[in-house]
Chains A and B, each alone.
Chain A
Amino acid sequence: MIQPERVVTTTCPYCGVGCKLELHVRDDLIYRVTSPFDAEVNHGNLCVKGRFGYDFIYNKHRITTPLVRKTPQGPGQRTQAFDLSEWEPVSWDTALDVIADRMVEIYRRDGSHAMAVYGCAKATNEDNYLLQKMLRAIFRSNNVDHCTRLCHAGSVVALQMAVGSSAMSNTAAEVIYNDVFILTGSNVTENHPIISLQMKAAVEKYGAKLIVADPRRIEMVDFATLWLAQKPGTDVPLFSAMAHVILQEKLYNATFIRERTENFEEFAASMEKFTPEYAESISGVPRESIVQAARMYATAQNAAIYWALGIPEHSHGTDNAFALIHLALLTGQIGRKGTGLNPLRGQNNVQGTSDAGVMPWHYPGYQRVDQEESAEKFEKAWNIEPGGLNRKLGLTTTEILGAVGKGGVRSLYIMGENPMMSEPNLNHTRHQMEQLEFVVAQDLFINESGAFADVFLPAASWAEKEGTFTNTDRRVQRVRVAIPPRGQTKPDWQIICDVAKRLETRLGRPTSAGWEYAHPSDILAEIGRVVPEYAGVTYPRIENEGLQVPVWDEQHPGSPFLFAERFPRGRGKFHPMEYIPSVEMPNDEYPLILTTGRVLEHWHGGTLTRHSQLDELYPEARIDIHPADAARLDIAKDQAVRVTSRRGTIVLRAQVSYKTTMGVVFVPFHFAEAAANLLTIDALDPLAKIPEYKICAVRVMPAREEELANPGLIQERGRY
């Protein structure tokens, strides 16, 4: 029996739920993770990742010294180096000097548009704030983005346009106060496991009725009153038909529409064509179910909508989100406890990373870079000469890689992201990465993107640094040092300060933007000075429990739910809708729809979880295929199959399962050896620039076992 030397309270590094963890440590080894049963968010419950998925910290393949590539890399000759023999271990000084020299050289030659950085929704608010500050203050560029572009950008843009705020309107745990709730495009039991427990309890113990709208037969369907299995990409007709019914049957909230919204007439006219019959013909959902769902939602005392990436990750992702927002605006199911529009954020700190300004169009706090007054405000805050900051909108994640080349982006600084797994159409991404002139990777492991780097900076993990994460319901919570950084690794915020100081010296800047911080709490204080919503968040106040932003001042108690009196933009705005089909629909050659996502045991590009014992539970990529499709294609249980789209091909094992519907196959995107994003299409939503991860056309054929990356490896699991 091991007795802990210390038990450190911190916040889980995996998903947006933001569970409180207690790390039990002895001899600098974390050996057990528990959670206090009075924890506000998770009541002592954890999922497999939070409780057992921390061992990547100790993985012997983790990089713990700065590395520089032995063979010089350049545009067109850039290669991936996974093996340590291709890297030279160097001192921090050497590594940072190389970075400063090369970045300054490129900046002086090509200017600010040549410089780009990827922030990291796994890192802290403080890390991310400094990263965007470095790019903006020193290189005068706005080419900074992070994976929010690849996950909720469609929701963010639609919510900003409709109500003026893009976060969850209510607290996730309020689900027990719902009488009816809609869950759509969210496999919550696998992706937000703790919220799923609260949803199950809401149904089983608190009498809530659940409507699931999802093309997959996800686990929550077992708890649902109604399952609307729409065909992928038909969300607009489905939810607009619900709006049509609400309008036809006069189930809307006329007072709310009159007092709190605008553009209703134009919107209502656009809904006329979305009859349940029309929606059924497109989505495959029976008209009676659409009518029933509309009545349930509209007539409930308190009803809420929860959604995740099944809604925004489309070439019409913004429209999909609008279709949901309209339901809330029509019925007034928003602005009260137990209601709301609730996009479940994916990463532990995607909300905070967005709040911290790791966005190409916004400074911290969603202040537009093209608005003179916000630019002036940040020039003052960062000691920059008037007019010094760049007023032009920067490039988004996907656009940054698209713009690589002469006259475009030349230098890319990647903090903790893995575009070589997470971008769509990876063969194209690879080509673009190869064209970069200089690449820095700051991470824990040499992943598929870091392998392209010139310089690798070893970062401290979440258990080795101080900071804050902001969870999906806008709760700013503490992250604490449990163990000293392994080897020579350093917290991201320190690394960025070290790089930034060198850059300023080399550029001979007359004033410094400010890179001397004794502790991340100083950085949060600076964030509070420039982001009004964070003004009242301080380390002492969140010592025990987090605070939900907006927190306008030191006395403000935080905001469990939003929009009680008004929307940030004033009135909620309706937008007329049209149905736009997805870009790539099945045909004879590519007859199946591929949709992508995650599984419970893994995280995104796999940099962490595939270096964890979690990989033992779920060791290889699997494709979900409906038994009817499998029978037709002569594919047996656990058989190797080849999946081909117009862009790429992968071989993986079949999971013959009723979890997917006929004509639709599902591949998780965690596995480099069968990367789902080799197949996906890089079509973008025109407004949000989010790629269409959820739909492309593929064909599936039997393959031989030897073609698999790991032949003969079958992990039996009862739950799949």
Chain B
Amino acid sequence: MTDEVQISINGQTVQVAPDTTILQAAESVGIEIPTICYHEACTANGLCRICVVEVEGSRTLVPACIGKVTAGMKVQTDSARIATSRRTILELLHSSVNLSEAAEIQGYSAVYEANPLRFPESRPRDIPIIDDNPMYVRDYSKCILCWRCVQVCADDAQYTFALNFSGRGYETQIATFFEKPMQATTCVFCGQCVGVCPTGALKPKREYLMEQGLNPDEIQELTRTERRRKHRNT
């Protein structure tokens, strides 16, 4: 096409449509850029900054997930400066979030040699598991605030708008409006949020109970229907 834009990534020439992001341009030629908050089904917001790249002439690093290509742009996806930045981001995540089920982030931590104890004075967020509905549990001590759940609940997919943020700064947390239990919100329990959660913060209740060692019959015993049935029979 005539209106394509030519850029270079790591010295390689790439032709893409003008509205393409640096991330998409790199993907189109098989160059991998790490991402955490980015998800193909969600609006990209450049939150986590793990995808930063160097763009010639730009004073700061540019997040590849939202940075659009411009004609003649020269991009470097790996450099000492980028590695330092990515390592620091990972170390900050380790300092405040339980990443035990975030396989992808653990993988990046190995690649960028992140030290999980880099910030020993920081306190990991210790938030009790919210188990307020029959379909999924929410363990926000594992939440990295990628926003994916909020976005699929809103106009990235469901248009239900049950999720929101509460608190500020370090205390920021995904929540329902007025911290209502999930069933009292507009939630339709589609689980779109569970489907995009990258860290195990959102998990099907059934999977959670099986992790606790319960078998299907024991899980069923926990349901109201079964308790009621038992009550009737005795």
**Hey, which bits of chain A sit against chain B, CB under 8 A?**
1-2, 29, 31-35, 37, 43-48, 51-52, 55, 58-60, 189, 193, 197, 200-201, 204-205, 223, 600-601, 610, 613, 615-617, 619, 710, 713, 715-719
Contacts and interface: CB of A to CB of B under 8 A. Distances in A.
A45 B157 contact: yes
B210 interface: yes
A55 B190 contact: no
B102 to A, nearest CB: 10
Nearest to A55: B206
A61 to B, nearest CB: 9
Contacts of B41: 37, 43-44
A382 B180 CA distance: 62
B49 to A, nearest CB: 23
A719 B187 contact: yes
B188 A2 contact: no
Nearest to A43: B41
9 contacts: A29-B210, A37-B39, A44-B195, A60-B216, A201-B155, A600-B188, A613-B134, A718-B162, A718-B186
Contacts of A58: 216-217, 220
B223 A615 contact: yes
Contacts of A48: 135, 188-191
Interface in B47-61: none
A718 B204 contact: no
B115 interface: no
Given A43-B41, A710-B228, A197 B191 contact: no
Contact of B191 (A1, A46, A619, A715): A46
Contacts of B192: 45-46
B207 A32 contact: yes
Interface in B177-234: 180, 183-192, 194-195, 200, 204-207, 210-211, 216-217, 219-220, 223-225, 228
A197 B158 CA distance: 6
A619 to B, nearest CB: 6
B40 interface: yes
Nearest to B101: A1
A45 B207 contact: no
B170 interface: no
B100 interface: yes
Given A1-B100, A31-B204, A48-B190, A617 B220 contact: no
A52 B155 contact: no
Contacts of B134: 613, 616-617
B207 A617 contact: no
Contact of A52 (B186, B191, B223): B191
B188 to A, nearest CB: 6
A48 to B, nearest CB: 4
A127 B200 CA distance: 39
Given A29-B216, A619-B224, A47 B211 contact: no
B18 to A, nearest CB: 20
Nearest to B196: A44
Contacts of A223: 159
A55 B216 contact: yes
A204 B225 contact: no
B225 to A, nearest CB: 5
Given A52-B191, A197-B157, A2 B210 contact: yes
A718 B187 contact: yes
B29 to A, nearest CB: 20
A717 to B, nearest CB: 6
B190 A45 contact: yes
B223 A616 contact: yes
B100 A46 contact: no
Nearest to B215: A29
B152 to A, nearest CB: 8
Interface in B75-91: none
B40 A37 contact: yes
Nearest to B157: A45
A713 B41 CA distance: 39
A616 B40 contact: no
Nearest to A37: B41
A47 B155 contact: no
Given A2-B207, A35-B195, A717-B184, A193 B190 contact: yes
Contacts of A47: 188, 190
B188 A613 contact: no
A32 B183 contact: no
A660 B20 CA distance: 46
Contacts of B157: 45, 197
Contact of B159 (A43, A44, A204, A715): A204
Nearest to B176: A718
A701 to B, nearest CB: 26
Nearest to A44: B41
B188 A52 contact: no
Nearest to A38: B40
A100 B39 CA distance: 56
Contact of B188 (A33, A610, A710, A719): A719
B135 A46 contact: no
A59 B206 CA distance: 13
B159 A32 contact: no
B190 A613 contact: no
A717 B187 CA distance: 9
Contacts of B190: 45-48, 51, 193
Nearest to B102: A1
A719 B206 contact: no
Contacts of B210: 2, 29, 31
Contacts of B195: 34-35, 44-46, 51
B213 to A, nearest CB: 11
B89 to A, nearest CB: 23
Contacts of B135: 48, 51-52, 613, 617
Contacts of A44: 41, 195
B99 to A, nearest CB: 12
A716 B183 contact: yes
A613 B220 CA distance: 8
A48 B191 CA distance: 7
Contact of B183 (A43, A51, A204, A715): A715
A293 B184 CA distance: 36
B23 to A, nearest CB: 16
A45 B157 CA distance: 7
Contacts of B206: 31-32, 52, 55, 613
B136 to A, nearest CB: 8
A617 B183 contact: yes
Interface in B28-43: 39-41
B187 to A, nearest CB: 7
A546 B217 CA distance: 36
Nearest to A717: B183
Contact of A2 (B100, B194, B211): B211
Given A58-B216, A617-B189, A1 B183 contact: no
Contacts of A600: 188
Which 5 A-B pairs give the minimum distances between C-beta atoms? A58-B216, A616-B134, A51-B191, A48-B189, A31-B207
A652 B163 CA distance: 32
A33 B220 CA distance: 18
Contacts of A52: 135-136, 189, 191, 204, 206
Contact of B184 (A200, A201, A613, A716): A716
Nearest to B152: A45
Interface in B84-136: 100-101, 133-136
Contact of A193 (B188, B207, B224): B188
Contacts of A197: 157-159
A55 B40 CA distance: 29
Contacts of A29: 210, 216
Nearest to A601: B189
B186 A719 contact: yes
Contacts of B207: 2, 31-32
Contacts of A193: 188, 190
B98 to A, nearest CB: 11
Contacts of A718: 162, 180, 183-187
A716 B100 CA distance: 34
